[in-house]
Structure 1
Amino acid sequence: MKNERVTVIDIAKAAGVSKSTVSLVLQGSPLVNDGTRAKVTAVMRELGYVYNRGAANLRQSGAKSKILGVVVNDLTNGFFAELAVGVDMVVQSAGFVQFLSNTSESLDRQSEVIASMREHGISGLILSPARATTAADLKPIVASGIPVVVVVRNVPGARVSSLVSDNQQGTFAGVQHLVSLGHRQIAFLGGFNDTAVFEDRLHGYRAAIAACGLEPADALIIPSAPSRAGGVDAVGRALATDIKPTAAVCFNDAVAFGVCDGLRAKGLEPGKDFAVVGFDDVIEAKTAVPALTTISVDPQAMGRRAAQLLLKQINAGKAEAESIISSVRLVVRSSCGATDADPSVKVETGL
């Protein structure tokens, strides 16, 4: 019965106590002795039961929850802050409030915060899953009937809605652009190689390398943490290879910023000595020096769309799974070496 829709009656039967005793335990009543409380609590843990404290309060008042959960895997990445802003734009106007939490890529933390949000009666959940999240990890909240939208990273087999960007097309366009600027040794830098997003973006990179008639070089595919520090590390390793890359498509903008830092540390100027393309188009991409060429996902728009999808399911009263792949576009700025002097390339400048 673990991870199914467990009821108070199920708990009472498994623990060999009455339904009213289970209710007293849930309410923290001093009328229950410690031994019984420990036995009931152990059964609840074993069966995966979550007491929806918020829902209980709402049943007493006759109201409905106006709370949505938003759980992301890395709030230190500006992408997710912008995504949360997009979510808030939609849910606030609909009379909801979001509870935001960060998992730092921890599955245990993710389980804890989702259980806590369920206990407080959320009406729906937007989740950017931690690494290695499986359909089984989401089974308890799916079984509860709470609508869920996963964003950025898909979870194969999970019966939830998903909203991801066109990762393959994005890196394909990035490589094509660098080839059009004359580059032939192009690296793919950053990202955890055990995530579906990494696989998709790497697939687009490999496909573009083949389509452009370039020789593939596995030595130029360098995973790292999808962070600024990860970018510094990845470009250092790339420049140490026998194949000397002159350009890179990065897993995300955070990695791209780190690549620029790493290049400068080695006396190379991004956009002049080495071309850099990011992925995401966070706010800082436009104001960075040099301004970052990147694959634009528009994180705020993704947040708005995820919120709209979730509210649609909440209003419909049922969680029917939908899968959406949002389009991306190449935004050319200075970090790739393109300039206004290139007549075939439109370079975005100014604010």
Structure 2
Amino acid sequence: MKRTRTTVIDIARAAGVSKSTVSLVLQGSPLVNEATRAKVSAVIRELGYVYNRSAANLRQAKSGIVGIVVNDLTNSFFAELAVGMDMVVQSAGYVQFLANTGESVDRQREVIASMREHGIAGLILSPARGTQISDLKPLIDSGIPVVLVVRNLPGAKVSSLLSDNYAGTLQAVEHLVGLGHRRIAFMGGYADTAVFEERVRGYRDALMRAGLPSGDDFIFNSAPSRAGGVAVVEKMLLRAERPTAAVCFNDAVAFGVCDGLRAARMEPGVDFGVVGFDDVIEAKTAVPALTTVSVDPQGMGQRAAQLLLKQINSERAEPEAQLLSVRLVVRESSGIGKNVRNREEHA
């Protein structure tokens, strides 16, 4: 009777761990704790499994798969980003392997390990909060090209594609100042991300240029989501002195801010100016249509995929950093400045 070959799945089942964890152990990854490594190694010995590294490398070299890992696929920005990437990788003969981490670093490690097991040719990653450079080390050491998109990891020796977050909020605040607003808030976003820091820096510098206070009292943190936007409006309404307009961390927050304002019987674009960031497809058709900083998510996805393919097709590709320009798209939600002074006096 012919003996069935032991597989990684057999080891995972016997050790009570995921297939990705077994792969990490086989690759000698430092991401696995010692107790788990010992348990998996014991099962490997017991079942007599032999890791064919040459075959694994061969699978990877011939791979037609590109990995794409994003931190929040519930945000339509990332869905549009992924569509742009798919347009490019598909036309180049690759298949997109898409995963969402939901801002979990542990989940991110698992999906990246799984992608490596499937032999991806390269990876585009929008890192989850708390991602460290060490999390990318197994990829870098194995020679798999990596492109960071939306969020950067300073010091990581990989390519990156980012939008000009600083210039975007600078333009947004200057627009609101030009409409007569003097109390302008920044709403939404996690304070421990580089994107937040860059956008808030643009917000503060624009206020300073206009001779206005730094805005520290009007920075409202929340999840970068529609629900987060509703929550920050509730916080704002508790203030004795309220802003009359806001630059939002992204369009999702801006939509939530509009919802929160309506719940408080305030009309976006009339009683309160709202500016978003991203210019997702819904921004143009929202009521009121959303004034926002246009990043062109699909175009950004296309550029990221093109950069990755360039890395894949180059034998010795040097890390490349690209900063994409942005522009303010003025629509109805920021208002036209009418009666701004009167609103400020009664806010």
Change (3 A) 1:307 1:46: closer
Distance 1:144 1:320 in 2: 15
Gaps of 5+ in 1: 1-23, 35-40, 340-351
Asked if the contact 2:8–2:23 (Cα under 8 Å) also holds between the matched residues in 1, the reply is no
User: Aligned pair 1:174/2:172, yes or no?
Assistant: yes
Q: CA RMSD in A?
A: 2.7
Q: 1:32-71 alignment to 2 at 5 Å?
A: 44=25, 47-48=28-29, 56=55, 59=58, 64-71=62-69
| Greater mean deviation of Cα atoms: 128-137 or 317-326 | 317-326
Asked if the contact 1:219–1:241 (Cα under 8 Å) also holds between the matched residues in 2, the reply is no
1:132-181 Cα deviation digits (max 9, x unpaired): 11111111111110000000000111111001100000000000000000
Asked if the contact 1:148–1:319 (Cα under 8 Å) also holds between the matched residues in 2, the reply is no
What does residue 233 of structure 1 align with?
231
Asked if the contact 1:86–1:299 (Cα under 8 Å) also holds between the matched residues in 2, the reply is yes
Change (3 A) 1:175 1:58: same
Shift of 1:242: 2.3
Q: Which letter does structure 1 place at the counterpart of 2:55?
A: A
Q: 1:118-133 alignment to 2 at 5 Å?
A: 118-133=116-131
What does residue 264 of structure 1 align with?
262
Q: Which letter does structure 1 place at the counterpart of 2:155?
A: G
Distance 1:144 1:25 in 2: 24
Distance 1:219 1:112 in 2: 40
Shift of 1:56: 3.1
Distance 1:27 1:257 in 2: 46
Q: Which letter does structure 2 place at the counterpart of 1:281?
A: D
Distance 2:51 2:182 in 1: 57
204, 209, 212: which one pairs with 2:210?
212
Asked if the contact 2:26–2:51 (Cα under 8 Å) also holds between the matched residues in 1, the reply is no
Matched residue of 1:68: which SS? strand
Moved over 4 A (4+): 24-30, 49-55
1:167-214 Cα deviation digits (max 9, x unpaired): 000000000000000000000000000000000000000000000111
Q: 1:282-297 alignment to 2 at 5 Å?
A: 282-297=280-295
Distance 1:314 1:49 in 2: 25
Q: Which letter does structure 1 place at the counterpart of 2:149?
A: V
Distance 2:324 2:81 in 1: 14
1:79-123 Cα deviation digits (max 9, x unpaired): 000000000111111011100000000000000000000000000
Distance 1:338 1:216 in 2: 24
What does residue 182 of structure 2 align with?
184
Change (3 A) 1:159 1:236: same
Q: 1:77-156 alignment to 2 at 5 Å?
A: 77-156=75-154
Shift of 1:290: 0.2
> Percent same amino acid at aligned positions?
65
What does residue 301 of structure 1 align with?
299
What does residue 3 of structure 1 align with?
none
Distance 2:271 2:218 in 1: 17
Q: Which letter does structure 1 place at the counterpart of 2:143?
A: G
Gaps of 5+ in 2: 16-21, 32-49, 338-347
Matched residue of 1:334: which SS? coil
Shift of 1:216: 2.3
What does residue 273 of structure 1 align with?
271
Distance 1:54 1:280 in 2: 43
Asked if the contact 1:88–1:98 (Cα under 8 Å) also holds between the matched residues in 2, the reply is yes
Change (3 A) 1:43 1:316: closer
How many correspondences in the alignment?
A: 307
Q: Which letter does structure 2 place at the counterpart of 1:152?
A: V
Change (3 A) 1:63 1:321: closer
Shift of 1:317: 2.5
Change (3 A) 1:82 1:42: closer
Q: Which letter does structure 1 place at the counterpart of 2:28?
A: L
Asked if the contact 1:228–1:259 (Cα under 8 Å) also holds between the matched residues in 2, the reply is yes
Q: Which letter does structure 1 place at the counterpart of 2:256?
A: G
> What is the TM-score of this pair, normalised by structure 1?
0.82
> What is the TM-score of this pair, normalised by structure 2?
0.83
Q: Which letter does structure 2 place at the counterpart of 1:160?
A: V
Distance 1:54 1:256 in 2: 49
Q: Which letter does structure 1 place at the counterpart of 2:75?
A: N
